[in-house]
Structure 1
Amino acid sequence: MAAQSAREGVCDPPPRPEQPGKPGGYISKLRELVKHEAEKNKSQWKTMGPAKVAVPSPKDFLQKRSKEPKLAPKKKEQDGKRLLPLLPPRTYHPVVHIKKNFINKNAVAVITREPKKPRHFCVDTRQGDKYLLEPSGLFPKYIKKRNYGVLPKYVTRRNEEMKREEEEYQASVLEQLKKKAMKTLSEEERTNILKALKRNWEEINHEYQRLPVLTDTRYKRMHKEELELKLKQLEHDIAAIEKHKSIYIADV
């Protein structure tokens, strides 16, 4: 026990000295006021229903056009005197002091220039709906131009180019037709061709007459048919040349 008490006395730390107390924290000056306001509005809704407020008067109702902006009231004549100055007479001419600066120059130009002409309108409904007459196409302003009815230069130039191209095309077509035109055989050439055809017909006919009577082989039959076709074609050509006096030959 003595040893245990001695061990405990060795392990326990010595007691700390007491420190002096710290000063208090920040305290707002409005603390009491906040507390008072909170207590004042604390039990507003503890009764049945909301707090009683003043009911609006039935005479104070929203009237028609009450929220539209209103113009300022006109000033009335005071003691029978006009607030606006009298108009000057027709014979009055303002005295203009001309100075060499652009302000007076512009003022003189504005005073002495002609007034603007009224714009033409077209009214198409009984409610008075109108629109400008010039852009509508109803105002005849184009016929008053100096060049009205005159063909523009670019149109005449284009027509001339088209006419020239058409003439060149027609000339090229005629040239091609002349190149492809058929030639006419002369009487001498026609007679020579007719004689040559008759000579060929006589030769083939002589060969045809020399054929054997019996055609028992395939070659004999084919040779006979070939000679008959040649004779038939020559007879057709001779008849066509003898029938037509003028013969045309096309270039192939």
Structure 2
Amino acid sequence: MATKPRYVSVHRPRIMKESGMGKNQRKTWGPAQEELPNPKNYLRKHSREQKLPETITINPPKYSSVNQRLLALPPRREKLAQENLHFVRNQETSPGLPKIAIPLPKMTLTRLNVDSEGPQKVTVFPEIITPVPRKPVPTCVDTCKGHKYLLKNSGLVPQHALKKGYGEAPRFVHQHKQKVIQKAKEQERRIQEHEAKRAQEYADANNVLEDLEQKLETLFVEHHRLPVVLDLRHNQIRKEKIEKAMDQVEKDIERVKRFIANYYSS
């Protein structure tokens, strides 16, 4: 019997949309939902250094006279404006003195002209700029009593996914791996050398055994060639020497066979 399809409410899309717009965005449990950083905006060198903007255009208010303009300045800057005005007038009335211009890097300075009514270029300093509101630090709440910790460097949020060398093993891991490989190669080389040495020793032992057997066979032939009646003394001495040599060769053969069986059997 085929099962009936599961019931799905027609209001499900609307409910999911409303829940996403409301409660989920302001939840206080679990990691904060924040937008992933763009990999192209990776931290660059000298990017956090404070920079002065070049210039901005300000339309000053129109005053009927210089005195009204000086009175409109704050008290702390009134003295500075009077000194600048006095310096400019002296510079204009002195034909023999050259005009002084002090250029600053990445900034355009113009001579202060209090009588001008058009737009002027003035320098903007950091304390005049309105700071950008600071965003809240992303945190993760993991207990019902409000215990939280920073999401940065916690491993819950991917950072610098397209950074050069991201996901690669550190240098010391490669070095350790190379050391392990080198150690394994050295161990393999030692094992091969040991096996080659054992094979050479085994071949030498077999050669010695073959030589002893051949020597025993030669002595056996000489022993059979002796006369049946040993009436002479030198024949008796020769027979004793051959028998003694045969006994010694048989002992050597037994010793070599025992050595081969015990040392090369494993």
TM range (shorter): 0.3 to 0.5
Q: TM-score, normalised by structure 1?
A: 0.32
In terms of Rg, which structure is larger? 1
Q: Which has the higher helix share?
A: 2
Q: Which has the bigger relative contact order, CA under 8 A and spacing at least 6?
A: 2
